[in-house]
Structure 1
Amino acid sequence: MNYDDDYGETFAQYDTSPKANIIPILSWDFHYELLNELKKYSFDLKRIQQIAHHFKWDTTDLKIKTRLQEEVIVITNLEQKIVFASNGILKMTGYKEAEILGKKPKTFQGPQTSLTDLKEIRTAIKKQKPFEKTIVNYKKNGELYNCKITCFPVFNLNKEITHFIAFEKVA
């Protein structure tokens, strides 16, 4: 009995459609990786939309869908405590979101972070103004990285500030 012939005949019985999608077994790891990234993106986007809906934000100008693909999104409340961090935070900082929720962004700062830059950031936050800065931050393991931060105050439909949203990436 020739198993190769039996397999070929059986396969031919069930694979008569020219539309069959055949993916080489070597590509499954790439497919899985892409699928995993899409799931994370979708999950983050849904959570941000839930926060926006709850606080009645107008997010049109923020371009969240586009920016979420390239940047880490961190949302803080008015006390500057982190209430959301997108999945990219782990790759960028080494911290899981659960480890930084309720903490302030100063968690990522250290001795080489410019005090002048930090003062300018605090001033922009107090004045409820957008800002863009590149500062030295620290990963969980102590490694330094330059972090480009673009931050906006977020207002509800009554024009009251509720949060700050920061788009961050390694510079």
Structure 2
Amino acid sequence: MKELQHYDKAAYNFYSKQGVLNLPVSGWDVFSKYFQKMCDNLSDLGILKALSDQKSWENKFPFEKEIIEKEHIIVVTDAQLNIVHATKNIFHMNGYTPDEIKGLKPKMFQGEKTCKETASKIAKAVKSEQPFEAVILNYRKDGSTYNCWIKGAPIRNKKGKVVNFIAFEREVA
């Protein structure tokens, strides 16, 4: 275990700067999964911050809290509702990787059993550039269904123009 001594110290220094102070110590396999999850989360945080800066978002979102603490999936679309970013943890909810859905519309997750009334309420809120919150039946890549809680909102730039939409999501019972 002496060979991991420097790694442990480097990992501690890195994660403490990120505000992450708890790391598993019970086994390498557990740590490896946790480490990959944290790497994915930190990568997503960097991408979301860059997108926010690039598009001059008027409001800043608590991405660290949403991704790391609440383990929410974040989906960002452009103003025309094409997905420009989805956090890597979306794969665990619906089987799609972010690269597979980039450029597509979130409606791709809906299907035959999706409640038309709920979908219509969401569409109306988006069209009128209003925030919304709903639970909707979505479809996974394998065709199975899941209930998805979504809290969405338009994102305006500093000039007041809607440049993106954001959705915080999670699977619910």
State whether TM-score is above 0.5.
Answer: yes
TM-score between the two structures when normalised by the length of structure 2? 0.82
1:95 & 1:126 partners in 2: Cα distance? 26
1:14-66 Cα shifts (integer Å, max 9, x gaps) = 9xxxxx99xxx971111111111110010000000000000011343x32210
1:65 & 1:156 partners in 2: Cα distance? 21
Equivalent pairs, count: 149
Q: Are 2:77 and 1:64 aligned? A: no
Which protein has the larger Cα radius of gyration, Structure 1 or Structure 2?
Answer: 1
Instruction: Give 2:83's aligned residue.
Output: 82
1:31 & 1:90 partners in 2: Cα distance? 20
Q: Is the 8 A contact 2:58 2:157 kept in 1?
A: yes
1:118-170 Cα shifts (integer Å, max 9, x gaps) = 11111101110000000000000011000000001101111111000000000
2:109 & 2:38 partners in 1: Cα distance? 27
Q: Are 2:74 and 1:108 aligned? A: no
Structure 1 residue ranges without an equivalent (≥5): 1-13, 15-19
Percent identity over the alignment is 32
Letter in 2 for 1:33: K
1:120-139 equivalence runs, <5 A: 120-139=121-140
2:59 & 2:30 partners in 1: Cα distance? 33
Deviant stretches of 4+, over 4 Å = none
The CA RMSD measured in Å over matched residues stands at 1.8
1:38 & 1:83 partners in 2: Cα distance? 21
Letter in 2 for 1:46: G
Q: What SS does the corresponding residue of 2:27 show, helix, strand or coil? A: helix
Instruction: Give 2:41's aligned residue.
Output: 41
Letter in 2 for 1:141: D
